[in-house]
Amino acid sequence: MIQAYRDVEAAKAEALSKPYTRDGWAPRLEAAETFQRKAGGGAVEQAVKRIVLHPELDKQ
- pLDDT tens track for 10-58: 999 999 999 999 999 999 999 999 888 888 766 667 777 777 887 777 6
pLDDT of residue 22: 93
Render the burial of 23-48: b for 16+ CB within 10 Å, e for the rest.
Answer: eebebbeebbeebeeeeeeeeeeeee
- Determine the distance from the C-alpha atom of residue 15 to the mean position of all C-alpha atoms in its chain, rounded to a whole number: 18
pLDDT, position 59: 64
pLDDT of residue 39: 80
User: Could you tell me the maximum CA-CA distance found in the chain, to the nearest angstrom?
Assistant: 53
- Which residues have C-beta within 8 Å of that of residue 38, sequence separation ≥ 6? 1, 4
